[in-house]
Structure 1
Amino acid sequence: MTTTERKPLLLDFEKPLAELASRIEQIRQLAEENGVDVSSEIRKLEARSMELREEIFTSLSPSQRLQVARHPRRPSTLDYIQAISDEWMELHGDRCGSDDPALVGGVGRLSGMPVVMLGHQKGRDTKDNIARNFGMATPGGYRKAMRLMEHANRFGMPILCFIDTPGALPTVIAERQGAGEAIAYNLREMFCLDVPIICTVIGEGGSGGALGIGVGDRLMMFEHSVYTVITPEACAAILWKDASKAPQAAAVLKMTSHDLKGLGIIDQILPEPIGGAHSDPLKAVNTLKQALLDNLEELYRLTPAERRQLRYEKFRKIGVFTEVSHS
């Protein structure tokens, strides 16, 4: 790995933290060169750095949360799968001649329990992102996902879905191959599956691309993830004919985990380390694994029929509103 690759990728609002960290390092080096003990001063500065980090990350705007959700070093589906599973085997192909690298899945064991895990997979760099369509799945990807879910249902294995996509692949070829039909088929069939289904938004959950693997008994989101019907950039381009107004759109889309928990769309917010999941991936992994185990324990207390009914009722409640008459 080169020095450039090791250099942290800073978001705009993280620059004060980087400047303070740089100042602390300079003081430490000068003190060592001159044999001066400044350990107490450095401790104070490090404490201030932690306070500043907490202040920044507890008051992020929706557009800033979106930047964290899209951070190139944020843990991906494969990162989480490989970290939480005792063993893991990726399965390929939709049995119709396609194997979409933007949607991965396979069988594994979670604390000894056989499970099927699948999700969107973005790349780490430009080359990898192009190979994986930036996590935007083709119709073949959703058909592969459904094949794996049917396998899980046949053998009584719970399904764990990890959502991280700006949307389904928006190309003419994808439309010709039946993108809408593939997603709609998944929506219908996921309501009928007998096994427990847990869906987690680990980064960016966008539009029908997210919904294609997003019907579950539990819907969880990491604290700085987003889940929305349309990207803020596309929303701004449609409403104001100006994509630069994306921060405005992000504020009104109600796409953050706290907004969606308040609206009753998601069931649980998974706390992230201060600085985001990419700042301490191991802590994020442990949080996710424990949440999955806790929810599976609850879901296994229900019969398949009870799970299906509650799943149906959960999604029927989304979008319910009250009309107030002005008499």
Structure 2
Amino acid sequence: MNYLEFEKPLAEIEGKAEELRALARSNSEMDVEKEAAALDRKAEAMLKDLYKDLSPWRKCLVARHPDRPHCRDYVDALFTEYTPLAGDRNFADDHSVMGGIARFNDQPVMVIGHEKGHDTKSRIEHNFGMARPEGYRKAIRLMDMAHRFGLPIVTLVDTPGAYPGKGAEERGQSEAIARSTEKCLQVGVPLISVIIGEGGSGGAVAFATANRIAMLEHSIYSVISPEGCASILWKDSEKMREAAEALRLTAQDLLKLGVIDRIVKEPLGGAQRGRAETIANVGKAIETMLKELSGKKPDALIRDRRHKYLDMGSKGLAA
């Protein structure tokens, strides 16, 4: 288990409980279960206290936790007959974006998402979930295919933001993001999105301009990272805590503003402490959102999606 900075006291208690049990395993005459159980209860109480009212900055840390389920985990668990589709038919295949045709509850769908990778090698291969222009152009191609064949689109968003490298800019990064966002607004099929970790900047909006948006309880969705915001406003990236507060990037704030439609509950301690439960909860949210849009005609889907974004923020402002 990887512990976050604010979880260090919890790590000490859980570590002591594990040490006691390790001693008991090496010496069958030792009976430490009573002491270990007491430490377990203390750790559970501390975990509840830590996660009772997370600050926006701590939610950022949880959203970035390396042990959270990633796009591939959701695809493997929730979708069947997944057939990956590669390439943008123009430049290359971007491994930070995965997508293809699959079945969800036996219904054919197109699933597209950011993949960060789970270890050093795979994170480098997937560019830490930061898509290049060819990644967004691949997504556009898949959305076009879904529109042509009447397949609902499910997007799973988990990116710090679009890749800002020189090559990406030379190949038209901003244009690719804008085209992907535009395509989201044009497709005449149900489009639903789930923010499963980080929803960073235009790189997230390019996939999440949807009829229905859900966010995991401790995920984040923002126009810029707290560190980037702090660097621009205060010329000091160390003010990221203040920036996180000001950006209103939590699921709870965004639900109030009408930016998202529902919050998907995470297990106590975050998705990383209950991967199977988190994936199951996301599956239920996807099922509910698809049912809400079932039977709607293409024109109605497009119109509803456009009005959703024209009205965005007015709910929170009126309050």
TM-score tier after normalising by the smaller chain length: over 0.9
Between the aligned partners of 1:185 and 1:207, the Cα distance in structure 2 is 15
Matched, 1:217 2:242: no
Superposed, which structure 2 residues align to 1:179-198 within 5 Å? 179-198=173-192
Superposed, which structure 2 residues align to 1:82-161 within 5 Å? 82-161=76-155
Gaps of 5+ in 2: none
| DSSP 3-state at the match of 2:207 | coil
1:139 to 1:35, Cα distance in 2 relative to 1, 3 A: same
Between the aligned partners of 1:148 and 1:30, the Cα distance in structure 2 is 55
> 2:197·2:216 contact (CA, 8 Å) conserved in 1?
yes
User: Aligned-pair distance for 1:139?
Assistant: 0.9
In the other structure, the counterpart of 2:4 is: 11
Gaps of 5+ in 1: 1-7
Between the aligned partners of 2:23 and 2:146, the Cα distance in structure 1 is 60
Between the aligned partners of 1:47 and 1:188, the Cα distance in structure 2 is 51
In the other structure, the counterpart of 1:3 is: none
Matched residue count: 317
1:31 to 1:188, Cα distance in 2 relative to 1, 3 A: closer
| DSSP 3-state at the match of 2:186 | coil
User: Aligned-pair distance for 1:35?
Assistant: 4.5
Please report the TM-score for the alignment, with normalisation by the length of structure 1. 0.91
| DSSP 3-state at the match of 2:116 | coil
Counterpart AA for 1:169: Y
| DSSP 3-state at the match of 1:212 | helix
Between the aligned partners of 2:22 and 2:67, the Cα distance in structure 1 is 29
1:129-166, CA deviations, whole angstroms, 9 ceiling, x for partnerless residues? 22222211111110100100111111111100011111
4+ runs of 1 displaced by more than 6 Å? Answer: none
| DSSP 3-state at the match of 1:99 | coil
In the other structure, the counterpart of 1:5 is: none
> 2:191·2:211 contact (CA, 8 Å) conserved in 1?
yes
Taking every aligned residue pair, what percent have the same amino acid on both sides? 43
1:211 to 1:322, Cα distance in 2 relative to 1, 3 A: closer
Between the aligned partners of 2:68 and 2:317, the Cα distance in structure 1 is 38
| DSSP 3-state at the match of 1:275 | coil
Superposed, which structure 2 residues align to 1:228-243 within 5 Å? 228-243=222-237
In the other structure, the counterpart of 2:161 is: 167
In the other structure, the counterpart of 1:55 is: 49
- The alignment's C-alpha RMSD in Å is 2.0
User: Aligned-pair distance for 1:302?
Assistant: 2.4
1:41 to 1:128, Cα distance in 2 relative to 1, 3 A: closer
> 2:258·2:313 contact (CA, 8 Å) conserved in 1?
no
Matched, 1:24 2:2: no
